[in-house]
A and B are shown apart, each in its own frame.
Chain A
Amino acid sequence: MEAAITTGADWREDEGGKVGLWLFILSEILLFGAFLASYIGTRLGNPECALGVVVWPEAGHLPGLAMAALNTVILLTSSYTMVRAIARAERGDRDGFRANLLATVGLGAGFLVVKGVEYWFKVSHGYYPGSDLAKADPGLSIFLSYYYMLTILHALHIVAGLIWNGTAYYASADAPMPAVARRAEYAGLYWHFVDVVWVFLFPLLYLI
């Protein structure tokens, strides 16, 4: 009887936590989905920043695209190291888990550094809402507002993911491995979701 109660409690903690996390991801889908639907609608219905025509002015477009492509590779690689970290945790390999999670945190921080350089590059070229360049081109101004809003919102999610992963790394020093694996799985779900958001932002903001 006692064993049955313990099994039930385990299910509630593990499965309940996972369902809760998927519900949280649902709220994030709605958040980003609403902004992206608005963005697509604006560009579909607006001849000044029409979808299918790259909005970025020629000057400085290629370096920005190169940095965004680099960030795509960085985030995909961080998702890969996160998967490896979770697999190591499930096998009870603490050192392997910590090494891969540390790599994930490093790559996430690298993403923010590249993003910061990209912002600096764009602002120094006058690509921000309210600049003389944007005032002269209403389509560009609309696009830049969406660009900064969406990418900053995404970067804030990266920061949250780094804090989550950093906490999981810190707690993994001496915690039992089953608990470490469960925390890693939750942190991983969130991190992969942030990666999925960027997978959609990259072509929509830089390529079309």
Chain B
Amino acid sequence: MSQDMTTSAGGALPIGVAKDAAADEADALDTGVYLTLLALTVATLAASQLTHGGRIMAVSLALILASAKAALIGFYFMGLRRERTMTFVILGVGALAVLALLVGILPDLTFARF
């Protein structure tokens, strides 16, 4: 990659070198997120074995780990950490709607007799 001859804002490095360093840093971050996702997948499998038969614990752990993975993908891979408020409003509407569906089912489960 060719490097610009002008200096970066701090004046210490040519802009091309600064860009390469930033690109390397971004690549390292992406790799770190990917490895964390793989580790969380192993943790999900392990947790399902540890809590076999325990309904609440199994469901809670699975959903917490899945949410952590989804958050990592959303914030780092989908770039949510750089998005504007509008995007969070859009996603918030979706999250609230799904939550309303889940809560709406609860009375039916509460009063069900098997």
Q: A22-B91, A30-B94, A91-B23 are in contact. Are A84 and B41 (CB under 8 A)?
A: no
Q: Which residue of A lies closest to B102 (CB)?
A: A37
Of the four ranges (under 10, 10 to 19, 20 to 34, 35 or more), the interface on chain A belongs to 35 or more
In the complex, the answer to whether B59 meets A87 with C-beta atoms within 8 Å is no
Q: Which residue of B lies closest to A42 (CB)?
A: B105
B12 within 8 A of A: no
Q: Which residues 160-177 of A sit at the B interface, judged by CB distance below 8 A?
A: none
How far apart are B68's CB and chain A's nearest CB, in angstroms? 9
A79 within 8 A of B: yes
Which applies to chain B's interface (DSSP): helix, strand, loop or mixed? helix
B97 / chain A contacts, CB cutoff of 8 Å: 29-30, 33
Q: A19-B87, A69-B41, A196-B73 are in contact. Are A29 and B94 (CB under 8 A)?
A: yes
B23 / chain A contacts, CB cutoff of 8 Å: 87, 91
A116 within 8 A of B: no
How far apart are B54's CB and chain A's nearest CB, in angstroms? 6
Cross-chain contact of B34 among A34, A51, A77 (Cβ < 8 A) = A77
Instruction: Knowing that A22-B90, A199-B69 touch, tell me 5 more A-B residue pairs with CB under 8 angstroms.
Output: A26-B93, A29-B98, A33-B94, A76-B37, A91-B1
User: Can you list 20 A-B pairs with a CB-CB distance of less than 8 A?
Assistant: A22-B87, A22-B91, A25-B91, A33-B101, A37-B98, A37-B101, A37-B102, A44-B109, A45-B105, A45-B108, A51-B58, A53-B53, A79-B34, A79-B77, A196-B73, A196-B74, A200-B66, A202-B41, A203-B44, A207-B44
Question: Which residues on B are within 8 Å of A, measured CB to CB?
Answer: 1, 23, 26-27, 30-31, 34, 37-38, 41, 44-45, 48, 52-59, 62-63, 65-66, 69-70, 73-74, 76-79, 86-87, 90-91, 93-95, 97-98, 101-102, 105, 108-109, 112, 114
